[in-house]
Chains A and B, each alone.
Chain A
Amino acid sequence: MSDLPTTRWSLLQRVQNADDNDAWREFLEIYQSAIYRYARRKGLQAADAEDLVQRVFASAAEKMKTWRLDRKSGSFRAWLLVVTRNAVVNAATRSRRHHSLTSVDVHAVPDGEIPSEEEAEIQLELRRATFRKVVEKIRDEFSDSTWMAFWRTAVDGHSKTDVAKELNISIGSLYAARSRVMKRLREGVLAMEDET
């Protein structure tokens, strides 16, 4: 499976431990948001994309019960991507009436190649979802003013002098604030990509 990172093992290990809800939640939030966006970008209606996410996850939950973490070939992540991609293709090509009856093929094996273009798209959505997840996690580590300094300049794209004025802080403090958040964000994303 080319250069797909081998599954987020540690997270999966924790996910298999059914009591670990945090792990499961992180896993869900990242993947479902990524799958949903991917499905929508592929032209599925909102309700159908939502449906698809549910079905993919139902099958994932099923699969995870039997997934062996020591398995060398293929990864859970790769498997999930194939399932997602197949489900999206099916849903997009079948008529609305029929696809709702189609279940996700749980037994899909990750040997069906994902065209690299599609793989890149899913990877992009995963990375986007990871960024967002990390943002949520680290938000509370910063004061409102620090956070706004970062968000207004780095995300909203407002001018740094305007934002500094708006927040009533000096330009130096603004740079200090936004770079601190960025450093934390970068570390968070790297850690999560590593772990999950």
Chain B
Amino acid sequence: MSNTKPTCSSAQLTAFLNDELLETDQGRFLKHLDDCPSCQKQLDKHSADQQWWLETSSFLSDDVFDSELKESLPSPLTKHHNDPVLHSAIPGVLDALQPSDDPRMLGRFGGYEVVGVVGCGGMGVVLKGYEPALNRYVAIKVLAPHLAMSGAARARFSREGQATASVVHPNVVSIHRVSESSGLPFLVMPYVAGESLQRRLDHSGSLPIEAVIRIGLQVCCGLAAAHAQGLVHRDVKPANILMEPDVDRIILTDFGLARAADDASMTRTGVLAGTPQYMSPEQARGERVDQRSDLFSLGSVLFTLCTGRPPFRSETSYAILRKITDEIPRPIQQLRPETPVWLIRLIERLHAKDPDDRFQTAHEVAELFEQCLAHLQQPDQRPLPISLQRSPVRYRSRFLWAGGSILALSAMIAAATYLVPNPENLSSASSQPEQTDAPARLDDSQKKETKTIAVPEILPDDDELSMSAIIGEIQELEGELSRVEDLLNEADTQHDTATESPSPSLEPLPSPQE
């Protein structure tokens, strides 16, 4: 049996697919397969006919609705372990309702009139309730019945309630009550009539820059308060950030996965906790996380708010996780060119793969946001935080004064547009002494790499450079160029000098010191 010569037989293909070949035969078959296009084709055919291959290609490719499905519904390709199960919890919870006298109500639960089902959270079903005594609406989060049977889940659920209740902050949802009814533990929170950021993104896409900063600031404040209590949220994402209607306030909700940072007991169950898209690399790897993990997730939220799409997207949750750990997201400038460079820098710092390279506390980021906001409102009086300013500021001013160097500038832009500087070159470039408008000299390695002019000055003088920052600079420079050209044209006609009227108001950055 094992000494059959590797011929092209249909029986052999079938046996191979059914895993019925002996090991030696299989080795021989694989070797044969390398050189036999006919068997290759036949093997495809034996596994499934043409129709199946076509369907596979069509059904499994991303289509326009994929990202929506992943966000709004538990998608078949994204392993939201909790949500689909929780949908089944809705009937279970509804069964636990007691009858109400009010025909408009679904029933009563824990002393509240239940108006409707709001949705499913981390571990349970959220009901909209009415509290007659206080004449107010509340959100009642009920632990899913199938989870209520597990002691660990009950413990975690009540820990969640207590933990959240211990954080008193305007940007963190408050907890009215932690209790139990019909054997189901539940939490009572204020009912927020607004919509989640996710919903907002769904219907209006990306947000204005100022709104992004206001939201970022408030999320940071809420996170800082939670972190101060030793809590890591672990699931910072647009769906967990609610916007109050009419008021300019956001509320961080669903500390469903939050737990005291020192409680690692339930982390290694093998089940992914949290939506993969907004996870941090350390979460994706199943490692221990601390508050800086929330900051990475915040970076992903800000990215999404700026561009209208999450930074790490893919077919499967597995691929998403790999992107989170291994890949740099597409540059924000490409997706939304008008995003200020300093905001991009801030997001990039949050997105550092290594927690040590990120900002270290939410408090620190909140302060930065405050300064950015002030700067946005009064660009002249309130400079950007130092840590978000870099050489492009000085560089730009010099260019406006360097009326004669249009040609050089064009050449540089051309060079910079077609070249992708290699990071190794960048650090050597950035260590060069500051120069003015002259397209700089090259060292040999750069020459080899680029075969044309290098542009040390447009490179931020920091070590951690990224493509996106560079592309952003290039786009800014292109804008500069056309503005300078305009100025020169104007100057020609007016017999004036081009250097008198750069208009700093066009710039998101502070007007440079000359």
A155-B56, A186-B48 as given contacts; A40 in contact with B84, CB under 8 Å: no
* CB-based contact A179/B203 at 8 Å: no
Q: Check B146 for interface membership: any CB of A closer than 8 A.
A: yes
Q: Check B85 for interface membership: any CB of A closer than 8 A.
A: yes
Shortest distance in angstroms between A50's beta carbon and chain B's nearest beta carbon? 5
Other A-B pairs, 6, CB within 8 Å; known A33-B73, A36-B73, A61-B90:
A25-B87, A28-B84, A33-B76, A139-B318, A151-B315, A182-B56
Residues of A within 8 A of B32 (CB): 172
Residues in B lying within 8 Å of A, measured CB to CB = 16-17, 30-35, 40, 43-44, 46-48, 52-53, 55-61, 63, 65, 68-69, 72-77, 79, 84-85, 87-88, 90-92, 117, 146, 199, 202-203, 315-316, 318
Residues of A within 8 A of B31 (CB): 172
In the bound complex, CA of A49 to CA of B318 (Å): 27
In the bound complex, CA of A194 to CA of B90 (Å): 28
A21-B85, A172-B31 as given contacts; A182 in contact with B92, CB under 8 Å: no
Q: Which of A18, A19, A133, A183 contacts B76 (CB 8 A)?
A: A133
* CB-based contact B57/A157 at 8 Å: yes
Ordered by A's residue number, 8 sampled pairs between the chains whose C-beta atoms are within 8 Å are A33-B73, A47-B199, A61-B91, A135-B76, A170-B34, A172-B34, A176-B33, A176-B43
* CB-based contact A46/B202 at 8 Å: yes
Residues of B within 8 A of A61 (CB): 90-91
Query: Which of A77-85, A87-95, A110-118, A123-131 is the contact stretch?
Result: A123-131
Q: Which of B59, B88, B90 contacts A128 (CB 8 A)?
A: B59
Q: Check A57 for interface membership: any CB of B closer than 8 A.
A: yes
| Binary flags per residue of A20-51, CB closer than 8 Å to B gives 1, else 0 | 01001100111011001100100001110110
The A contact surface, by secondary structure, is helix
Q: Which residue of B lies closest to A183 (CB)?
A: B47
In the bound complex, CA of A172 to CA of B40 (Å): 7
Q: Check A9 for interface membership: any CB of B closer than 8 A.
A: no
Residues of A within 8 A of B87 (CB): 24-25, 28, 57
In the bound complex, CA of A129 to CA of B53 (Å): 16
Residues of A within 8 A of B34 (CB): 170-173
In the bound complex, CA of A151 to CA of B30 (Å): 20
Residues of B within 8 A of A171 (CB): 33-34, 40
Q: Check A132 for interface membership: any CB of B closer than 8 A.
A: yes
Shortest distance in angstroms between A27's beta carbon and chain B's nearest beta carbon? 9
* CB-based contact A25/B77 at 8 Å: no
Residues of A within 8 A of B55 (CB): 127, 131
Q: Which of A24, A33, A128, A176 contacts B16 (CB 8 A)?
A: A176
* CB-based contact B56/A179 at 8 Å: no
Residues of B within 8 A of A30 (CB): 76
* CB-based contact A139/B316 at 8 Å: yes
Residues of A within 8 A of B72 (CB): 36, 46, 50
* CB-based contact A182/B48 at 8 Å: yes
A157-B57, A180-B47 as given contacts; A46 in contact with B203, CB under 8 Å: yes
A139-B316, A154-B56, A182-B52 as given contacts; A172 in contact with B74, CB under 8 Å: no
